[in-house]
Structure 1
Amino acid sequence: MSRGPKVAITALTACAALTAAACASTTASGGGTAEYPSETVTIVVPYTAGGVSDLTMRALAEFLQKETGQTVLVENREGASGAVAMRYAMNQPADGYTLFNIGQGANVITPIVEDVEYDRHTFTPVANVAAFPSALVVGKDSSARTAEDLFEAARQSPGTVSVATAGATTPGQIAVEQLGTGPKAVPFKPVPFPGNAEALTAVLGGNVDALQINLTNDLLARADKGEIRLLGVGTPDRLPYLPDVPTFAELGFEDAIYSTSPYLVGVRKGTDKAIVDKLAELINKAPQDEQFRETVGDRFVTKGDETVNELVKYLDDTDAAYRPILEGK
């Protein structure tokens, strides 16, 4: 049976037990929200299986399934820098049964650089379950002991100090270009690779001078082993587990904080507010769940306390920080 008839049956059953006035009120407010979710929920991920987005959303799916008793599926729809998934998403019912992994790439960057049918306002961010800070990294043999060492080398020989990124229109690439603007501009030579793995291999092999990448448990383990050095992080404040590593803001580049990647979950704009509120309440419990924290990585889960309005503002601020760089290409 399709989703539409199921919802209608739920509303009619409720009407049989309530007064006509109460039924009218329930229908007007999006009948059935009290029982939400009452059937299978799908989380659409705009990237291939096995990546950080996929891992995070699968951990969330497991949590939601445990919390609600309903089946929660993850559906990977990669392609066109996230546009394939977002086009699919915008054509799904605004009923809360299709959730979307919202991020900087598919929802902010792609609508700026590509002619797509959607923008960041097409979807409503409901909650943020994880955030992977970006970092400026050098290999173990680099002469740069600090970010200022690397910056000075780049200023002395503009365009010769190479920094690997995971792609030409990724948050990491934008961060490198942001470092090249303003009164303290650092004229790096950004070198985009097909992905994080290739970019990391390049810096480990000494084929590039540095790397701009999001932190993961693997990367932190490499730093602990001395294979790489972390020179700066793209967060508003210093990370408690990297207290000696300065932020890009401290180094004079406040906009570069938007290179940190949040893992937002959203729904189509127009979804009933009662469902949005229920989803936010459910999803914001995930960061406190022991299994979720273990799967995603304790260092990367959020507090789970951001409101929808705060998340909308974050995407708006990210757009404002990215647009001058992207439109200048």
Structure 2
Amino acid sequence: MNRNTIIPALATIAAAAVVPLTAQAEDFPQRTIELIFPWGPGNAMSSSQILADAMSDEIGVSIPVISTPGASGTKAFLIAMNKPADGYTIIDGYVAPLVLQPVLGKADWNYNDFVPLHAAFSNAFALGTAAGNDRWASFEDMMHYCAEHPGELRYTTGSRNNLPHMVTAKALQSYNCVAQNIPYTANADAMSDLKNGVLDFGFINVGDFQQNPKDYNILIVLSELPESVAAFGGAPSIADLDIDLGLSGLAPLGWNWWLVHKDTPPDRLEILRRAMKAAIERPEVQAKAESLGFSFLKWDWDKYDEIVSPVADQLEAMGNALKWEEEQLAKQ
């Protein structure tokens, strides 16, 4: 091969190296990509749409969020799993359908049956009282009182046997605190009773706190993650306690990863991963999500197993704490 043929050949190779990744992957994507979302409309869906819109800008096609509520999130997973493994379906993988329902025996998959794009959001949990309630100087003070007065205190986590109830029960069990969980169908009613003294303490959603921070006295943030603590204005967290509650990482909070079918072609998977990561890194996207009470998680796809695998064991321990609470209340 002479110089006249080598130079054009090298130019062709160099040009191929800078062709956008979408072109290298058979011009993927060429049409709308659906994000299957497991809940109804609300702040969580709005946050996912914010990220989907930013990812759409990066990838060049529309990414609508398809609300598919039902069966504690498992309906959305089943629908998504029956779609072709072609990269045109993303699963908004919340902890309840991804990990909790399999732990409870209500889903026949586990987190390793999916391939991650990137961690998405966290939604921090906290326990607190109404503003001005000075019965206890700290969460530990309240726990010591509770242990000495079993069955006296009343609290709420909204509905019973949900993830906030499981996390709370595990925290209370660590202090031998037996309290009554009062169920509510509407969160607004629960917060109203908390503020009016009908309840002694309660689960406080980060969105409620950020909208009305002066209404609540946050006793404990049920996470050691810095972003969770920041979301509640720097309130004390489980990292500040003298005992280990057996709660760490993603286990004691709401969270999601975006996932795809395990058989998605590697070149398309790489395009989706890079687009999602780029969307998350946009400051304006982070600010919009945080205004709704959601914090972006930092972990890329290669940390998926390391971060998610401990959650199942902790959820099982939380389920045992729920049973303990019921057994102790039955003795009162």
Give the TM interval when normalised to the shorter protein.
0.7 to 0.9
CA displacement at 1:198 relative to structure 2:
4.1
Distance 2:262 2:195 in 1: 43
Structure-2 residue corresponding to 1:294: 287
Q: Which AA in structure 2 matches 1:162?
A: R
Measure how far apart 1:74 and its partner are.
1.0
Report what 2:90 is aligned to.
Answer: 99
Instruction: Specify the alignment match of 1:278 in structure 2.
Output: 271
Residue 220 of structure 1 pairs with residue 210 of structure 2: yes
What amino acid is the match of 2:151? G
**Structure 1 partner of 2:196:** 205
Among 280, 300, 310, the residue aligned to 1:307: 300
Distance 1:254 1:309 in 2: 28
Cα displacement (A) at 1:203: 1.6
Query: Aligned equivalents of 1:320 and 1:62: distance in 2?
Result: 35
1:110 maps to which residue? 101
Equivalent pair of 2:152/2:179 in contact (CA under 8 Å):
yes
- The size of the alignment, in residue pairs, is 294
Residue 243 of structure 1: CA displacement?
6.6
Which moves more between the two structures, 147-156 or 121-130? 121-130
Structure (1/2) with the larger helix percentage: 2
CA displacement, residues 130-168 of structure 1 (integer Å, 9 cap, x when unaligned)? 222211121124323321222122111112222211333
Gaps of 5+ in 2: 1-11, 13-22, 324-332
Give the TM-score normalised by structure 2.
Answer: 0.79
**Identity fraction in percent:** 19
Is the contact made by 1:163 and 1:176 (CA closer than 8 Å) also made in structure 2? Answer: no
Q: Quick one: structure 1 residues 297 and 244, their matched pair in 2 at CA, closer, same or farther if it must change by over 3 Å?
A: closer
Deviations 1:99-146 (A, max 9, x none): 111121111112222433333233223212322221112112432332
Q: Which residue of 238, 243, 246 maps to 2:236?
A: 246
Correspondence for 2:32:
40
User: Hey, what does 1:153 align to over in structure 2?
Assistant: 145
Which of these residues, 163, 166, 170, is aligned with residue 158 of structure 2? 166
Contact map agreement 1:83 1:106 (CA 8 A) in 2: yes
Residue of structure 1 equivalent to 2:259: 266
Cα 1:154/1:108, change in 2 over 3 Å: same
Gaps of 5+ in 1: 1-17, 19-30
1:180 aligns with 2:172: yes
